[in-house]
Amino acid sequence: MEEKQVVEFLAAKKLIAGREEIQLILNSESPERVLENASKNTSSFYLEKKDIEKAIQDLEEKIIVIEPSRKIAAKEVDRNIKIHPDSLTNKKTLGTTGDFVEYFRERFKKLKGTLATRINSNPLTTIEKAKKTLAKTRVIGMVKSKKQTKNGHMIIEIEDEEDTLTCFAGKDSKIMESARQVIPDEVIAIDGKQSKDLFIIEAITWPDIPYKQKKTTEEDISLAMISDIHIGSKLFMKKEFTKFISFLNGKTENKAYEKIKYITIAGDLVDGIGTYPEQEKDLENNDIYLQYEILGEFLKSIPEYIEVILTPGNHDASRLSEPQTRIDDEYIKSVKGYSNLHFINNPGFVEIHGIKVLLYHGASQYSLISNIQEASDGFTSPQKTAIEMLKRRLLNPIYGSKPPIVPAGSEMVIDNDKIPDVMHFGDIHKKGYAEYRGTTVVNSGCWQKTTSNQIKRGLTPSPGEVPIYDMRTGILKIEKFAADENIEK
């Protein structure tokens, strides 16, 4: 665009501008759009510098989609995604006592089957038979209770389908450290022998995932992982998130975008309404439908060749109890017809080119951090908490803690056929990465600055960072879209 064209445009609108203002327009990335917007917003016949600067800023904050002329590697690869049926079926339950009994029986059955296959020198027997023999045995049970005595010993009570067993770990015994890690409602194997009214513990075994070779793909593609966007919050990092979307569209010198074929989003897509006390003070808008509408505009700006898998979190329009149902179509009407967007349950399980990906928002972390010594620093190292979930093969083990459990399906148990190659979670707003027995564990941080609620809870978020997993090499790299000084409130 030339100076003459700017002057002619302004004349047609009965507006005038000085040479400095005209030059500011011409120096912008999109002079035509800046001129159009500035002329609409001015309140006088003279187009002032402030009007032009505002128009430039508004355009910079909008998502700019650019179709690169060069070939993009991920675009040339056909979609290969399989969503596990449980991740799409919104199972409902009345939540009766019978439903819960059946739910925990199924949990016990699955994990007992896993533990029963472990090689061990002690014979596996039932609790009832273990009580009647003085020989060493192995029993499998669900933890009913755990308490420490006045003298510092540990008493763990477990149960199977028929009976209960009171187990003892002495305060000075080698097994005491393991006994401290036991939590309610998990399923464990205990080796030991009966002595009067107590079963003396010699070893404790968890179901744990097996060691396996890291699985990779033949295709040269990547998986980007994000979570906790919190659209609707005053502290949503719109500029940084827009920068990420622009990155996906190739508006960058960084060529990492060319391999991104998949994106997983592990919950808290929007900030929601009334999810914590006085949340309204932190909201940009308190209309849940509008929050999802804005989300939809961002999602529609992601290139269509990129497949996006989204689960809900505790801030989203879904039930709070787990497993959470996928977000209802009522809230995501604006993206209807976009075949690259896949809304699934939380937790959700998908296979991408044969790579098994477990998606879990991760709200159970709070109860695990307060109950497992190995995960006590989970607020700063969330990957440790996820490893404890894999060790127990349970995503939300403790009944009665938050979030509540609903007796629907068995998605909270990590079955043998659902041992992940990648476990992606969020919620804690803190980045964390680890390799555990061939599984890559990733907490993807957030896109929200520190809220007053997080300050009260001592959380220190790490926003604007995107873990990108190279599916051919198994290497994880981090791309940053936020300057360090923009992280604090």
Domain ranges of the chain: 3-61, 73-91+211-486, 97-205
Residue 46 DSSP one-character state: B
* Cα 132 to Cα 91: distance, rounded to the nearest angstrom: 43
Nearest 5 degrees, angle CA 442-CA 294-CA 68? 70
Longest pairwise C-alpha distance within the chain: 101
The rounded radius of gyration (Å) of the Cα atoms in the chain is 27
DSSP assignment of 35-89, as one string? HHHHHHH-SSSB--HHHHHHHHHHHHHS------SS--GGGGSPP-EEE-GGGT-
Measured CA angle at 196 (ends 194, 197), to 5 deg: 85
pLDDT tens string 99-108? 899 999 999 9
Contacts of 437 (CB under 8 A, 6+ apart): 208, 209, 210, 211, 212, 390
**Would you give per-residue pLDDT tens digits along the chain (489 residues)?**
778 788 888 778 777 777 788 888 888 777 888 888 888 777 666 778 888 888 777 766 666 555 555 688 999 999 999 999 888 877 777 788 898 999 999 999 999 999 999 988 899 999 999 999 989 999 999 999 999 999 999 999 999 999 999 999 999 999 999 999 999 999 999 999 999 899 999 999 999 999 999 999 999 999 999 999 999 999 999 999 999 999 999 988 889 999 999 999 999 999 998 888 878 888 888 899 999 999 999 999 999 999 999 999 999 999 889 999 999 999 999 999 999 999 999 999 999 999 999 999 999 999 999 999 889 888 999 999 999 999 999 999 999 888 999 888 778 999 999 999 999 999 999 999 999 999 999 999 999 998 877 787 778 899 999 999 999 999 999 999 987 644 444
Fold classification of 97-205 is OB fold (Dihydrolipoamide Acetyltransferase, E2P) (2.40.50)
pTM of the model: 0.84
For the chain, report the end-to-end CA distance as a whole number of angstroms.
40
CATH of 73-91+211-486 given 3.60.21.50, 3.40.50.720, 3.20.20.70, 3.40.50.920: 3.60.21.50
Report the relative pairing of strands 137-148 and 465-470 from DSSP bridges. unpaired
Q: Tokens 């990906």 appear where?
A: 357
